[in-house]
Amino acid sequence: MKYNILISTKSGNNYYYNKNSNYSLIHPVLKYIVELVDCGVNIDNWLNDLPEKLIIENKSFAKTDIVYYYKKYLFFSNNYLFEKNKPTYKLSHKVTPNQIELALGKCNSITFEVTEKCNLKCSYCTYSENFGWFKKRMNKNLSFQKAKNFLNYFFSLSNIIDKKKNLSISFYGGEPLLNIEVIRKIVSYVNLNKSDKTNVTYSLTTNGVLLKQDILQFLVDNNFEILISLDGDEQHNSYRISKSGKPVFNHIIKNIFSIQKKFPIFWKENIDFNTVLHSKNSREEVYTFFKNKFNKVPEISEFSAEGVISDMKKKIESEFKNFDDIENKTNKKSAEIEIIKENLGHYSHRFDSYLSFFNNYTHRLITGTCIPFSVKAFITVRGDILPCENVNHIYSFGTVSDDDIYIDYDKIAKQYNEYYDKLKNKCYKCNFADVCSVCILSLNKFICEEYSVDKEVFSQVIQSQIELLETYPKEYSKFLT
Ligand code: SF4
Ligand code: SF4
């Protein structure tokens, strides 16, 4: 593939992309010169023959302007912006044990799966018997001792590597509030044992059924950020049902109104909603419901049939995922924002800041996979230590028990490097290598269906990303920083 790509967006801006400089906004005259050079035109001869004025993109430019931009072109070329050949950096397919240990020491997000129990039986639950991704749920609870052993190990490591930091601790389930006792103990242990320089925030996702006074007071006292799962109004929420199959909507709404009344500031600042988009709701309806009822904008995730056992795939997809319906009812703006979110959710661990998206990546391993623990450490009720909650539990990279903790960084690095070896031949050739958001742990048998060497496909993808950026600059900024 040629490394230079020129993009003209709908709003009339021109961008230059190559593997060294990534995206650069360029002047139309500069773009014109790059195109001429790409076509093999000798620019010195071309300049000699130029008339006093030249029309480019419907605008008239004087010969002096053109000469000015040619000097600019030469300056940028000498400084590698318009490097046409090989990128000046190398992608790598090797992660080292040291990088992984460092990532855990610097990790600023830990999630504890505190229980496998749930008080609901949602029809689309990824932990149901229809999904094969996760180890069978046995209604287990996380013991405090396991959490404590992990935290002791983590604090000892992070106090050496990265004393001063923001640390986010989240609680995950099942329904996490069913093991509120362990949550209370973990919070109290962290508050007592964290370094003075560590700023901790707590969060959890709940179905809202147990948000009652005594639990709420504890959550308020510890400034928890709460995400309540609710799919919209009573009809939209009807896949979320009790174990006996009864609707729970009214019960949850009652709890929500009670939070609003008793803890108005907490309600305003600490409560958000998460909605799963499926065949009974749509983005537009969901936005309208939350806006009118609570003056809030929910986070929206699409129902995912990933991990459904093959016998159930057709049935589940037809029941919960009606793409045409979703597309027809989709609010364009919110749909586009979701695309940005999806893309950038994966990119976020690869960029130091908003500006680095346009500059150089900080991370040069093939694929979009994070270095284990650089995004998060996820501890399951059974004591498996995973790089996040979204990956199959077979990718357990360590274990913590009531007595001990075991993490072998050499083994994890070896395992990752074996995975990278399976993909490297394709990734090094793939046009998406630089903007790849594929997590290697999400691939079926390490076969990547996104692989492409078609320059046109790649140009279209980056063009649509840039156009979204131009349309919603605030959203890009928000997701990246
Ligand atoms: S999905 Fe993959 S890349 Fe993303 S945080 Fe989890 S392990 Fe890392
Ligand atoms: S899209 Fe697939 S093949 Fe291409 S770089 Fe990413 S992981 Fe590799």
Query: Is the distance from CB of 318 to CB of 328 less than 8 angstroms?
Result: no
Domain-located, residue 430: no
Is residue 111 in some structural domain? yes
Higher per-residue pLDDT: 340 or 11: 11
- Burial (0-12, 13-18, 19+ Cβ within 10 Å), 382: middle
| pLDDT score of 320 more than 80 | no
pLDDT digits (tens, 9 = 90+) for 213-262: 999 999 999 999 999 999 999 988 888 888 888 989 999 999 999 999 99
Distance CA 205, CA 228 (A): 6
Indicate whether residue 439 lines ligand 1 (CB < 6 A).
yes
User: Separation of 371 CA from ligand 1 center, angstroms?
Assistant: 8
Ligand number, closest to the Cα atom of 419: 2
- Which residue, of 388, 414, 440, is where some domain finishes? 414
368 Cα–ligand 1 center, Å: 8
What pLDDT does residue 22 have? 64
**Quick one: which atom of ligand 2 is closest to the CA of 433?**
5
User: What is the spatial distance between Cα 273 and Cα 11, in angstroms, rounded to a whole number?
Assistant: 34
Nearest protein Cα to ligand 2, atom 8: 427
Q: For residue 116, give the 3-state DSSP assignment.
A: coil
Reading the block at residue 240, the tokens are 């979320």
* Residue 475, domain member (yes or no): no
Q: Predicted confidence band at 332 (pLDDT cuts at 50, 70, 90)?
A: low
| Neighbour count for residue 57 (Cβ, 10 Å) | 12
For residues 411-440, give the mean pLDDT: 90
Are 108 and 168 in contact by the 8 Å Cβ rule? The answer is yes
- 95 pocket-lining for ligand 1 (C-beta < 6 Å): no
Q: Which of 397, 344, 393, 353 is nearest to 371 (CA)?
A: 397
Please tell me the number of Cα atoms within 13 Å of 13 on its side-chain side.
15
Alpha helices in 377-472 (DSSP H): 409-427, 455-471
Query: CA-CA distance, 172 to 111, in Å (whole number)?
Result: 7
pLDDT band at 436 (very low <50, low <70, confident <90, very high): confident
**Residue 240 belongs to domain with CATH number:** 3.20.20.70
State if residue 387 touches ligand 1 by the CB under 6 angstroms criterion.
yes
Same domain, 83 and 112: no
140, 339, 378, 475 from 194: Cα distances, Å: 27, 37, 18, 33
pLDDT value at residue 330: 46
pLDDT at 267 over 90: yes
Tokens representing 476? 């890009």
So what's the pLDDT on residue 292? Answer: 93
Asked whether the bond before 383 is cis by omega within 30 degrees of 0, the reply is no
In a domain, 344, yes or no: no
Q: Is the pLDDT of residue 463 over 90?
A: no
44 & 145 share domain: no
Query: Which residue's CA lies nearest to atom 6 of ligand 1?
Result: 388
For residue 373, with 0-12 CB atoms within 10 Å meaning exposed, 13-18 middle and 19 or more buried, which class applies?
A: buried
- Residue 231 sits in the same domain as residue 152: yes
Confirm whether 423 is domain-assigned: no
The single residue listed with the structure tokens 């929910």 is 298
CA 436 / ligand 2 centre spacing (Å): 6
How far apart are the CA of 285 and the centre of ligand 1, in A? Answer: 31
Ligand 2 pocket residues where CB is under 6 Å: 366-367, 423, 426-427, 430, 432-433, 436, 438, 448, 450-451
pLDDT at 348: 47
User: Does 140 share its domain with 245?
Assistant: yes
In terms of domains, do 266 and 385 share one? yes
C-alpha 100 – ligand 2 centre gap (Å): 22
Choose from 3-12, 125-134, 147-156, 324-333 the range with maximum mean pLDDT.
147-156
> Looking at the domain assignment, is residue 434 inside a domain?
no
pLDDT of residue 53: 92
Pinpoint the alpha helices (H) of 167-263.
Answer: 180-193, 213-221, 249-262
**In b/e form, how buried is each residue of 426-445, taking b as 16+ CB within 10 angstroms?**
bbeebbbbbbbbbbbbbbee
Q: Are residues 264 and 311 in the same domain?
A: yes
Whether 354 has a pLDDT exceeding 60, the answer reads: no
Among residues 88, 115, 146, which one ends one of the domains?
88
**Please, which pLDDT band fits residue 300 given cuts at 50, 70 and 90?**
confident
Question: Which ligand minimizes its atom distance to the CA of 425?
Answer: 2
Tens-digit pLDDT profile for residues 381-413? 999 999 999 898 899 999 999 999 999 999 999
For residue 233, being part of any structural domain is answered with yes
Which ligand has the shortest distance to the CA of 371? 1
Ligand 2 centroid – CA 24 distance (Å): 23
Residue 329 pLDDT greater than 90, yes or no: no
Looking at residue 368, its pLDDT comes to: 86
Q: What is the pLDDT of residue 199?
A: 93
Do residues 84 and 110 both lie within one domain?
no
Co-location of 155 and 269 in the same domain: yes
Give yes or no for residue 443 CB within 6 A of ligand 1: no
Q: What are the angstrom distances between the C-alpha of 207 and each of 180, 252, 279?
A: 14, 8, 20
Same domain, yes or no: 120 and 197:
yes
Pocket test for ligand 1, best of 344, 369, 397, 436 (most atoms within 8 A of CB): 369
Which residue's alpha carbon is nearest to atom 3 within ligand 1? 369
Query: Is residue 84 domain-shared with residue 113, that is, in the same domain?
Result: no
Ligand 1 centroid, distance to 391 Cα (angstroms): 7
Pocket test for ligand 2, best of 347, 423, 444 (most atoms within 8 A of CB): 423
How many whole angstroms separate alpha carbon 233 and alpha carbon 298? Answer: 13
In angstroms and rounded to an integer, the radius of gyration of the C-alpha atoms of the chain is 26
Question: Which residue, 398, 414, 430, sits at the end of a domain?
Answer: 414
How many folded domains does the chain comprise? 2
CB-ligand 1 contact for 427 (6 Å cutoff): no
- 29 Cα: distance to centroid of ligand 1 (angstroms): 42
**Which segments of 290-404 are extended strands (E)?**
299-302, 377-379, 385-386, 399-400
Distances (CA, A) of 153 to 115, 156, 418: 22, 5, 27
Q: How far, in Å, are 172, 203, 243, 271, 460 from residue 223 at the CA level?
A: 17, 9, 31, 10, 44
**Same structural domain, 64 and 181:** no
**Cα of 278 to ligand 1 centre, how many Å?**
24
Assign 268 a pLDDT band (cuts: 50, 70, 90): very high
- pLDDT tier for residue 301 given thresholds of 50, 70 and 90: confident
- Are 274 and 226 in contact by the 8 Å Cβ rule? The answer is no
Query: What local confidence, expressed as pLDDT, does residue 184 receive?
Result: 98
Structure confidence by residue, pLDDT tens digits, 178-209: 999 999 999 999 999 998 889 999 999 999 99
For the chain, give the mean pLDDT.
84
* Residue 186 near residue 151, CB atoms below 8 Å: yes
Residue range of the domain that includes 405: 106-338+372-414
Backbone angles phi, psi at 24, to 5 degrees: -135, 135
Strand pairing category for 271-277 and 299-302: parallel
pLDDT in tens, 59-111: 999 999 999 999 998 888 877 677 655 555 567 899 999 999 999 999 999 99
Is ligand 1 within 6 A of the CB of residue 215?
A: no
Q: Could you report the per-residue pLDDT of 127-171, keeping only the tens digit for each?
A: 777 776 666 678 899 999 999 999 999 999 988 877 778 999 999
The CA distances from residue 476 to 20, 302, 350, in Å, are: 22, 20, 15
pLDDT at 334: 60
CB 204 within 8 A of CB 171: yes
> End-to-end alpha-carbon separation of the chain, Å?
32
- Report the share of the chain in percent with pLDDT over 70: 82
Same domain, yes or no: 254 and 125: yes
- Select from 388, 395, 437, 440 the residue to mutate for testing ligand 1; criterion: most ligand atoms less than 8 Å from CB: 388
In a domain, 467, yes or no: no
> What is the per-residue pLDDT for 478?
57
